[in-house]
Amino acid sequence: MDKVKKYILSQIANENIPRNDAKEMLKEFIQSSKTMGKKVEEDIAIIGMAGKYPASDNLEKYWYNLKNGINCVSHIPEQRREDSNVLYSLFISGQGKMVFPNIDTYHIGGYLNEIDKFDASFFQIPPNEAKAMDPFQRLFLETVYNTIEEAGYAADKLSGENIGIFAGRDHTVTPYYKLFTSDDHPMKFTGSLTSIMTSRISYIFNFKGPSMVIDTSCSSGLVAVHEACKSLCNHECSMAIAGGISLDILPATFNGMSMITSSVHKVQTFSEDADGTIFSEGVGAILLKPLKIALMDGDHIHAIIKGSAVNNVGATSGLATPSRQAEEELLISAWKDAKIEPESISYVEAHGSATSIGDPIEIKAITSAFRRFSRQNQFCAIGTSKSNIGHTAAASGIASLTKVILSIKNEIIPPSINFIRPNKYVDFTQSAVYINDKIERWKTKDKPRRAGVSSFGFSGTNCHVVVEEAPMVLKENGFTLNDIQESYIFLLSAKSIQSLFKSIENYNTYLVDKNDKIEDICYTSAVGRNHYNYRLAIIIKTKDELIQIIKSLLSSIVDIEDYESKIFSEKLFWGDYKSNIHFGFIKEINKNLYSLNEIGVKENIFTNSFCYEVCKAYVNGAMIEWKELYKGYKYNRVSLPLYPFFYKRYWFEPDEVGVEKLTVSKDIRLSCEKVDGQDRSSIGKTLNKKDTILIGKSENIITPIEKVIGNIWGKILGFEEVNVNDHFYNLGGSSILAIRLIENINVYFNTNITIKEFLEYPTVFELSLYVSSLSISNQELNTYDNQKNKEENKNEAESNTEDNNLIVPVRLYSLNHLNLTNNYTWSQLDCYERGIAIQCEKIDFKLINYFNFMVGVRKGFNLSKLGYSNFELQDKFKSNENLSIVDEVLQLCGLKVKAFSVSQEENVCERIAQIIDKEEMAMVLFDEYYIFYSNFYKIKHTDHLTIVNGYDKKRELFNIVNHNHMEVNLGKEISYSTFSVSFDVMEEIYRERSAEYKKVLVIDPIEDKPISTQNIKEEYLRIINYIAKSLHKGSALDLLEQIIRDEDNYFLEKNLNKLYLQLGGLELTLKCILRSYNGPNYKKIQMECSQIVKLAGSIIDRYSISVFRKKMLNFESLSKEFDQIQNLINDVFNTILTDNGII
């Protein structure tokens, strides 16, 4: 540009150009420069893509077939033929007016290998709902996820973003699958509704941008791309996913489309022998982002969209007849939108319908359009993917665009096959285009590779997109942290062990075949992937080292079930943190991640020792903010192998008609079961020949009620195995399924449980307890077992007469609501608060959630205007004079904490047993260890308390309720279960403590004050109302703001303990709200609570990092996030009040 300007000025100086002419030239040049700059702002980057096409389960196979000129049209796959036969049989007895052919006659076409398989558990969709989902929804959902991953992004990090979903789907083919679904199936409507195809994706990933399904017939997919680009340019979304899908559930041959289908089963586009198309299947999607932002973000750019246009043929000689003029004007409009010289286009991916009318019109339209700008002949190649894969209808535009992107990236134009002699109505020698019937190198001179993609709809709506190769990205000069990185961390994770092993196999191929840099691979594996429970972490220095470790890993594992004992070294770490198995090491992480090496933190965080500790934390379940760790590094996202879904078949079988009704007659209800000591293990078998497997209880003792409810639960959702503590909605439940579940439970047990009551007891365990309180039958059922247990205990007591006057030989207080205090982190409920909550059961188990809420809200919010003092850390042993939060909450119920001292002279175990005899359970001292408040901060816990709820004098054992304190990294959610501890261990623990801490704590009534839960319920409502009607961002962020603004106290490490405890209070408050909320906006509130926790935790983690890095944060850089959290909190509490959904 500058050279042109200097040249014009020099010509003026030499008087070679008249001044007036030069002035006009300069004006035109400056205007052109502005226009070009503006266009760069409007260009759209394609940063991710994925798809499945005939004989191509992925884009690598698709490119292989295109490049090698393979015809992918074939007969229907055998399994699909069998499924289609079953579906066809439903119509044998004269359904509607459609005439079907013989059952074994199916048209030749381009088929996907499988459309019945899906990884429902990956997307947390219940099996029965997955079965009711149209394959269109399932396949497009998977393709969108793969597209996001291919771009190097983690879907969960995009939650809440303004991301648009644009999908093309035509309805030329009848949506038969919904006819295969029983009208009685509760999820049939959402499973088959076309608009839900994109809305479900927005719902699952919490995308807030436009979400729409577009039907313009064959051009639907490319029109979706056009609409997505315009939405980005209009700032309606920050990123957009666009694509198309076409499936043929029942590909029976009938005469409706015979006029445009090929009689020889070949798509011979532009050939003299062309006699029609072949309809096929496909699904594809691309991820779009403004080019300017993609370059700034270091995205992997496949190609860019320069411009696009859409029009309609209007009135022609007949409905659905193509128009040369309309197609010509379409191309010119797209070129104008792209602001390019048409001669710079060197390839056109044609619509190429292979019809006698359509082909000549398309060539003439292209030539006429070019002739407005150039008289050159045959300077532009032309071809079509339809000759390889057939006409994929609504997916044809995205299939063509994907082909062009792959061609540009590989610098190759694949052959357009099935072309022998040109169409006699087209003179290619005088045309601007030529048929590219053989593979050729895509050569260019000084200009980038540029192509056009056309897609024409049977509806008359046409679309054309101009595509250009990605700009060259030059590496920045100068020193960066990359230059001194000592080691790299490579990560892999999956939701199943099978998927993890498949990922390892995929990387074994990828690492050899691709030239991506090791630093970019490791960076993308961390920041560009979701991190699931099955985890692998490898420390390496070079790409070759990673290749060798992956190869040795694969060779060492013969059997998947044998993996745990095989894999561990100083460089390789393995873990399944959800099942609490940690392979290769059992040592606790004994140093803070950000104080391992102060010099290393300042200059190069990825030291060997640091990587070692990070990998241990990662495989143990630590949710590490990888983006924070990589701050200061200049790495790019690359296209890594996609997540390998663990597919299962979700398809209605011949003997199924939707979900089988669970209604049972009254004569087989529980009340008819005998209670005379006979075996009652058959309860619930009238519901299921195969019982649902129930897990999640200590010693896995399942009650008869739990067994029945578990069977109903499993049948409604479609699970073979259910954890009795899993929340109904976390299993993928919905209001529709909840209604069906309650209907069947009410019929079975002769109860009148409402939806509101069900939402109070949303787990199998809780609901079973509630049903048992309503059902006389259940009480009768348990009478026999209880009597038997009493007799056994009595016999044992009588046989153990020694010291019988001191303690009863066996005593046990059963805890039936332990799940109400489980799954909380240490900062949400510490051992003291959790112990008090557990003891609340002996008063009223409903008190537990109120107690937890009050503890959380007192720590997490400033309630001074309601008369509460600010949260302060207090010693729970020394005195009750200054009331702690726990004391304040208990006083609302007429309760207090009572401390029994244990003197040096007393027998500790006898003293504890005496207290248990009177109080039923109590808290006692226990071991010390480190606890993690976050991945970045931990403290030593020296005054741990645990619950004792029983003892066995004969075996000298206490029954305690505690977490597994040998477990590494207690920053994650902690659950308590039952353990046994010997009398000797308890005596040793008390012997080591000073006198002031030798106490046993219980909760007792306050004298002259009645025990009541009414006060705490009223206070609960008062606080909810107060927070909803005023603006709050939580005590932790209030305190953090003060700290950031106070330079003198910024780097005090003591700030961290209080910050994380207050953050835990906020998290606890939100968890309790979710548990007690029963309104219609549960999913919305759940997502907003998740956002609040994620944002607030991230901010405090950043402060924690800054303390150890000795680099202060700037409050202004956090203010937007502070405001966002405040708005989210306000919305959550106001939604609760609006819905009137508080228990």
Strand-pairing partners, residue 279, are 391
Does domain 483-634 fall into CATH 1.25.10.10?
no
What's the pLDDT score for residue 356?
A: 78
* CA–CA distance, 568 with 585 (Å, rounded to integer): 8
The two beta strands, 303-312 and 648-649, are: unpaired
The SS3 assignment for 672 reads helix
Q: pLDDT for 267-312, tens place per residue?
A: 988 888 888 889 999 999 999 999 999 998 889 999 999 999 999 9
Does domain 801-856+869-1007 fall into CATH 3.90.70.10?
yes
Strand-pairing partners, residue 974, are 824
Query: Which residue ranges in the chain fall short of pLDDT 50?
Result: 1, 34-38, 93-101, 103, 475-480, 562-567, 578-603, 657-688, 775-809, 875, 877-882, 936, 966, 968-970, 1141-1143
First to last CA, the chain: 70
* CA–CA distance, 287 with 150 (Å, rounded to integer): 9
* CA–CA distance, 391 with 395 (Å, rounded to integer): 8
* CA–CA distance, 1099 with 1056 (Å, rounded to integer): 12
Catalytic positions are: 218, 351, 391
Please, are residues 135 and 250 in contact by the beta-carbon 8 Å criterion?
no
Please, are residues 771 and 749 in contact by the beta-carbon 8 Å criterion?
yes
Of 407, 385, 382, 415, give the one whose Cα is nearest residue 397: 385
Of 633, 336, 277, 644, give the one whose Cα is nearest residue 493: 644
Residue 56 gets which letter from DSSP?
Answer: B
User: Could you tell me the two tokens for 588?
Assistant: 């606790």
What's the pLDDT score for residue 31?
A: 55
**Other beta carbons less than 10 A from residue 556's beta carbon:** 11
Q: What's the Cα-to-Cα distance from 402 to each of 148, 216, 236, 453, 602, rounded to whole Å?
A: 15, 19, 24, 10, 44
Q: How far is CA 1050 from the centre of its chain?
A: 36
* CA–CA distance, 245 with 247 (Å, rounded to integer): 7
What's the pLDDT score for residue 253?
A: 58
User: Could you tell me the two tokens for 1036?
Assistant: 């932790």
Please, are residues 284 and 302 in contact by the beta-carbon 8 Å criterion?
no
Q: pLDDT for 81-130, tens place per residue?
A: 888 877 776 655 444 434 444 545 678 899 999 999 999 989 989 888 89
* CA–CA distance, 527 with 871 (Å, rounded to integer): 36
Angle between helices 847-860 and 1014-1028 in degrees, nearest 10:
40
- The residues, ordered by sequence, that sit 6+ positions from 60 with a Cβ below 8 Å of its Cβ are none
| 433: region left, alpha or beta (phi > 0 left; psi from -120 to 50 alpha) | beta
Q: Write down the CATH number for the domain with range 666-784.
A: 1.10.1200.10
The owner of tokens 């009238």 is 686
Give the CATH H-level superfamily of domain 44-469: Thiolase/Chalcone synthase (3.40.47.10)
